[in-house]
Structure 1
Amino acid sequence: MLWIELTRKLSENLKEPFELEFVWRQQHELSKLDWLNLMREEISEEDETTLKAIADRLAKDEPPQYIIGWEDFAGLRFKVDERVLIPRPETEELVQMILEENPHQEALSVLDIGTGSGAIAISLAKACPSWKLTASDLSESALELAGENAKANQVQLELVCSDVLDDIAGSFDLIISNPPYISPDDRDEVDASVQKFEPDSALYAENDGYAIYEKIAQQAPQHLDEAGRLYMEIGYKQGERLKAIFETAFPEKEVSVIKDSFGKDRMLKVC
């Protein structure tokens, strides 16, 4: 059987027909031209077995990033698996905004709450070597993976196991967080692959998705320097309520809701 025949047959059962191509190309470091040339060849029994196994995993909604074992984010590569949320493009916009608005050469102290794979903290540390990054998470296994990613990307992080700021000492110039913000009642709105494979603790929060934000609002004023800034990713329906919450927590600061490239409320800034 030719590669193209088997690939077409297996892709018919997938929600995203190009996922099979994506996984195989990434695993074998093939260019698009390499893949097109491969399609004209006879497939070996070994490759047929492997390709069918990948297609089976994809058909069961396993994310391609977990199958290949990594995701690119902000120009860097991060190992990902079921211990952590897969970094999203909208979070890259948060990182970009932080880098645009803060001096790279100053020795800023920065805290990333709920670091997961370490994508935010590591990206900032890579771009700004003079910044001192602390990355916290409630999950020990997530922190273990963040440590692996920091080493792979050759940056230094202080890793702290903490429920929000419960076990965080000191104050910071920047506090950043992309916390869980989906209401458990909205679980059915989440893609099947996310529901089945990505960690619930990184997705869902009590009190209609506001619980972690409320805890940050309660604790952050004691840990943010007087001239410090707070940056967070938010759900697209949460901007108005979160603006009110953080205006109460930081009455002397300006609270802004920022839209993403699709025009949706996606980030909140306190400065």
Structure 2
Amino acid sequence: MTLGEALAAARQRIDRLDARLLLQYATGFSHADLLARPETPIIAPAYTQFSEWVERRAAGEPLAYLVGEAEFRGQVFQVSPAVLIPRPETEVLIDLALEKLRGLSTPRVLDLGTGSGIVAISLALECPAAEVVAVDISPEAVTVARNNAGRLGAAVDFRTSDWYANLAGEHFDLIASNPPYVAGGDPHLALDGLPYEPQLALTDGADGLDCIRRIVATAAAHLNPGGWLLFEHGYDQGEASRNLLAAAGFKETFTHPDLAGTDRVSGAYL
């Protein structure tokens, strides 16, 4: 089987771009190689791997889990089914956090529910003066995040914790979170590869606001005066998020859209 033949066959079953990327990962050839030398034979182990990946991708498994990595903000992060796949919408949360940290000499930052570590690691790399702590209830997720930080050279203190449980007496200048916010039973949970992602990181099994309520309710005990709380949420949760923040005594509540114009991040300061 040649590169060109394998690619043509795979394109009958999965997206063209997915087929090309999987073939590149399986064979080690570049995109330029595929274009310039489609007649090149594929060695048996590489073809076996490619065929397996095509089958799994055709069944709906996300490409990032097949190849074990995904790009986010110009960095390559390792991922596994223990963590969510990074999504570009989360860049809004990081951009807003960096804006709030501007001008602070040595801020302390907390990332709640770190998953693969994209928020904590991005903040540590882009705001090197910050002391970043990141927690997740999943030990497997913490392992993935810690490995990513090591590979990318980011100084982050990762811990296993159920939200603030293992942070007694600690205070921060900014708390950021991308918590589970999909309502239990939402039909989207059965689409776009979501059944393969960790459900604990996607949904609270209730109305989608349960984790946000917990984060907001306890944030004041861990924020320095003037400290900001920022969190990602669903497209229809902006108003409810602002109301929760205001009820907890936060000031200047706001909701910021993502690049698609959808409500994505809400926040306020103490």
- The DSSP-based 3-state class of the residue aligned with 1:184 is coil
1:266 to 261, 264, 267: 264
Greater CA drift, 89-98 or 29-38: 29-38
Give yes or no for contact 1:11–1:55 (8 Å, CA) kept in 2: no
Give yes or no for contact 2:108–2:130 (8 Å, CA) kept in 1: yes
- The DSSP-based 3-state class of the residue aligned with 1:122 is helix
Identical columns (%): 33
Distance 1:10 1:76 in 2: 28
In structure 1, the residue matched to 2:52 is 53
Give yes or no for contact 2:93–2:265 (8 Å, CA) kept in 1: yes
In structure 2, the residue matched to 1:193 is 193
Greater CA drift, 20-29 or 257-266: 20-29
In structure 2, the residue matched to 1:40 is 39
Distance 2:137 2:229 in 1: 20
Give yes or no for contact 1:185–1:208 (8 Å, CA) kept in 2: no
**What TM-score, normalized by structure 1, do the two folds share?**
0.92
Greater CA drift, 238-247 or 163-172: 163-172
Distance 1:43 1:235 in 2: 44
53 and 104 in structure 1: CA distance in 2 versus 1, 3 angstrom threshold? farther
Describe the superposition over 1:175-229 as per-residue Cα deviations: whole angstroms up to 9, x where unpaired. 000001011110445424121x210111011331111001011111111111101
Greater CA drift, 109-118 or 234-243: 234-243
Deviation of 1:105 after TM superposition, in Å, equals 6.1
Could you tell me which amino acid in structure 1 is paired with residue 48 of structure 2? T
Describe the superposition over 1:215-268 as per-residue Cα deviations: whole angstroms up to 9, x where unpaired. 0111111111111011111111111111111110124x1110111111100011
6 and 30 in structure 1: CA distance in 2 versus 1, 3 angstrom threshold? closer
Distance 1:19 1:210 in 2: 34
Deviation of 1:158 after TM superposition, in Å, equals 1.4
Could you tell me which amino acid in structure 2 is paired with residue 191 of structure 1? L
Distance 1:161 1:220 in 2: 18
Distance 1:105 1:18 in 2: 43
- The DSSP-based 3-state class of the residue aligned with 1:256 is strand
Distance 1:94 1:28 in 2: 36
Structure 2: give runs of 5+ residues left out of the alignment: none
Distance 1:220 1:130 in 2: 22
**Aligned ranges 1:84-103 → 2 under 5 Å:** 84-103=83-102
Could you tell me which amino acid in structure 2 is paired with residue 157 of structure 1? V
Distance 1:45 1:163 in 2: 46
In structure 2, the residue matched to 1:207 is 206
Distance 1:32 1:131 in 2: 39
Deviation of 1:13 after TM superposition, in Å, equals 1.7
157 and 42 in structure 1: CA distance in 2 versus 1, 3 angstrom threshold? closer
- The DSSP-based 3-state class of the residue aligned with 1:125 is helix
Structure 1: give runs of 5+ residues left out of the alignment: none
Give yes or no for contact 1:138–1:163 (8 Å, CA) kept in 2: yes
Distance 1:190 1:100 in 2: 35
Distance 1:63 1:122 in 2: 23
Distance 2:179 2:190 in 1: 16
Distance 2:51 2:231 in 1: 41
Distance 1:10 1:45 in 2: 16
Describe the superposition over 1:62-108 as per-residue Cα deviations: whole angstroms up to 9, x where unpaired. 21111211111122221101110011101122212222332266100
The CA RMSD measured in Å over matched residues stands at 1.8
Give yes or no for contact 1:160–1:168 (8 Å, CA) kept in 2: no
Could you tell me which amino acid in structure 1 is paired with residue 254 of structure 2? S
- The DSSP-based 3-state class of the residue aligned with 2:96 is helix
In structure 1, the residue matched to 2:107 is 108
